Amino acid sequence: MKLIFATKNKNKLAEVQDLLAGTGIEILGIEGEFNPEENGETFEENALIKAREAAKIMNMPAIADDSGLVVGALGGRPGVYSSRYEQTDEKRISKLLDELKNTKAEERSARFVCSVVIVSEKGEILFSTTQTCEGQIAFSPTGYEGFGYDPIFYLPEKNATMAELTMEEKNKLSHRSKAFKKAMEWLLRS
Ligand code: IMP
């Protein structure tokens, strides 16, 4: 079974290919221009926009995710604006740490959220799920693995940030792996 993964993010593609290795489900990266307007109000709406655009371009069934960081002390920001919060990972991290500079440890709870949507080649919704990974915003960045906000996303049960975990460890607990596992279970059943 082949599906187009509606992303230009090579890290995400690698994470998801790792997750689906050995299942017989082949995830292909998208080729050429791909700039869908992510103007949805929820992660699910944005995932659907991306999946439909990829299905249209490639004329194949498509899978898409939309994810982001929801910070309690910031009323849920940056949320669906996580990638647009600043221009680079480094700037996103320093802006977030700055916004939380007067926030105490016990008020720094945060969650990564990921919605995954699968559409047919015509763009009809076949499957949709939203999953989370709970943690806290650290006071400074640690670790070099992963991408995005990983260096400041602290997982109390691991006593480590997401960026200190290997891809294999991250794939056991991340929001995206939980959502893609649900999608994979659905794909294997259908
Ligand atoms: P999108 O899902 O490609 O729209 O991007 C969401 C943004 O949320 C990314 O650019 C990252 O900044 C952030 N994000 C989503 N998932 C992760 C993750 O697993 N680790 C770190 N940051 C993430």
Q: End-to-end alpha-carbon separation of the chain, Å? A: 11
CA–CA separation, 122 and 1 (whole Å): 17
Calculate ∠ Cα 81-170-40, nearest 5°: 20
Q: Atom 22 (ligand 1): residue with closest C-alpha?
A: 148
Q: What is the pLDDT of residue 41?
A: 96
Query: In terms of pTM, does the model score above 0.95?
Result: no
Residues 68-118: pLDDT tens digits? 999 999 999 999 999 999 999 999 999 999 999 999 999 999 999 999 999
Smallest CA-to-CA distance from 82 within 139, 137, 16, 34 is with 137
Domain-by-domain residue ranges, the chain?
2-189
Give the strand pairing for 62-71 and 2-5: parallel
Fold entry, domain 2-189: Maf protein (3.90.950)
Residue 148: CB within 6 Å of ligand 1?
yes
Q: What is the pLDDT of residue 127?
A: 98
Question: Which of 12, 63, 83 is the best mutation target for the ligand 1 pocket, counting ligand atoms within 8 Å of the beta carbon and taking the most?
Answer: 83
Sign of CA dihedral 31, 147, 83, 129: positive
Residue 171: CB within 6 Å of ligand 1?
no
Q: What is the pLDDT of residue 164?
A: 98
Please state the rounded mean pLDDT for residues 130-148.
Answer: 97
Coil, strand or helix: which one is 101?
coil
Smallest CA-to-CA distance from 137 within 150, 125, 147 is with 150
